[in-house]
Amino acid sequence: MVAALLRGQLRSYPANGHGIFLPQIRKLVFEYCDKWPSSANTRTYILNHLELLARANPHVEVVVRQRNYKEPIVRGYYVNNRDKVIPLNGFEVTGIEKKVELLLDSSGAKIRALKKPVESSTEATRGIWSGLHAERPRL
């Protein structure tokens, strides 16, 4: 007797690999104040460029939220349940575009500094070459 297969068991789970690439970002949240002048460039970016960004990245959910009396920020949520926040005050519209691209291209992983230089504990397999130890050429 053959066991019945349920429909939920037949689905596949997406993963990065051969033939498929899943972007790591899943959501972008723009937060700005409607009254503060530090949010003026963010409001301009939202009005003029946000629709193009959403059309170019259909896999990303784009949310716009007002934060009264706070500085503008953009927050990226990633597949690995992490988020990254970038403040947008002081940036021109082109600078905001670059910061959004930075969030789109990021993996959401924590940034770790390389603390120790990489050094080998053994000598090279060929040893150290010296012209004094080489055989003389024969003519």
pLDDT tens per residue, range 6-35: 555 555 555 666 666 778 899 999 999 999
How many helices (DSSP H) and strands (DSSP E) are in the chain?
2, 4
On whether the pTM is more than 0.85, the answer is: no
Indicate the CATH number for domain 25-102.
3.40.30.10
In angstroms, rounded to a whole number, what is the distance separating the alpha carbons of residues 78 and 1? 44
pLDDT tens per residue, range 47-67: 999 999 999 998 899 999 999
In angstroms, rounded to a whole number, what is the distance separating the alpha carbons of residues 37 and 66? 14
In angstroms, rounded to a whole number, what is the distance separating the alpha carbons of residues 36 and 112? 35
Please tell me the predicted confidence (pLDDT) of residue 52: 95
